[in-house]
Amino acid sequence: MDILSVLKQLNAAHGPSGDGREVRAKIEELARPYADEIITDTLGNLIVHKKGAGPRVMFAAHMDSIGFLVTHIEKEGFLRVGKLGGIAPREAVYSAVRFKNGVRGVFVPEEKADFGKLKLDECFIDIGAENEEEARKLVRVGDTCVYDRSIRTRGGRVMGPYLDDRIACAVLLCALERIKKPACDLYMVFTVQEEVGLRGAKTAAWWVEPDLGIAVDVTDVDDTPGSEKSGTTQLGRGAAVKVMDASVVCHPEVVATLEELAKAQGIPVQRDILCAGGTDAGAIHTTRLGVKTGGISIPCRYIHTPAETADLEDARACVQLVSALAQA
């Protein structure tokens, strides 16, 4: 598989938290030729099993993205929305959005809103409806929408919404293709509802009961002007081995193993310390009596905006590192 091609297919699918059937179907389609078993659990996690001897190893990348959910339809035809996950309204202003049924609109602030202190209830979505009656023929309360922007590339860089965490899903799919004979009992888990509380990883890890858990996700960077030092990674310097984030302090043995594998196989790596925000590792490591847990991260700029930016070579290094661990 080509990672950019896979990423484009995943980003075209609808999949905000709680509404992930479309993206799950696409991942299952791409994973099936390389899996011994595929299970969808009650919460909606997609568990891809490749049988092997040795300990149970679980890689987790979340399928869900941030998004909006319609809460009210006003008499003028405008939509009021709630948010699914961490969306800052001022970062979403004037972004095009799309609903699963193809209806498109734009996220707009009220004219008198204070942009510096913009709140979600001071914003609305305009879908071009003339009034409430027309709007209700197009959308319903409870419908979800996502940013309507396609993936773009320049050189080795890729930009678009939902690299968090579709690029990590693409990493696992590409690694699954490479892993011919795992040295472990391998579970590639594509989780749900990470953006609203690491919910899918909690139930999936309970079911898999792994001996080793690895969360694969994007991470914040320290390579832009005025950086607030919330992350430690830089684009173009390779896969990021997580040391900690706000949800987990990674097991030192796992950190050491990943770094040793990278050195032995010539995979470029850097260390990932994320001062704010968490990953599925937070739910995995506290499952049952505890799980040795780490993380493999893709450095990403402008996380949770419509223009997330990553380096494809970093993602490819993550594919190599996931494959190396599964076959070690």
Token look-up 């919404």 returns 161
Catalytic annotation, pick one of 22, 194, 195, 260: 194
| Distance separating alpha carbons of residues 12 and 14, to the nearest angstrom | 7
Contacts of 82 (CB under 8 A, 6+ apart): 68, 69, 71, 120
Q: Is the Cα dihedral 89, 94, 97, 103 positive or negative?
A: positive
The amino acid occupying position 255 is V
Residue 29 CB neighbours (<10 A): 10
194 is catalytic: yes
Which has the closest alpha carbon to 82: 104, 103, 107? 107
Residue 140: strand, helix, or coil: coil
Tokens for 173? 């799919």
Distances (CA, A) of 162 to 10, 12, 78, 85, 289: 9, 10, 25, 12, 33
φ and ψ at 245, to 5 degrees? Answer: -145, -170
Start-to-end CA distance of the chain, whole Å, equals: 22
Which has the closest alpha carbon to 10: 231, 171, 187, 245? 171
φ and ψ at 170, to 5 degrees? Answer: -65, -40
Beta strands in the chain (DSSP E): 37-40, 46-50, 56-62, 67-73, 79-84, 96-99, 104-109, 123-126, 144-147, 152-154, 157-160, 185-191, 212-219, 239-245, 248-249, 269-273, 292-299, 308-311
Which has the closest alpha carbon to 297: 256, 244, 223? 244
Catalytic sites, residue numbers: 194
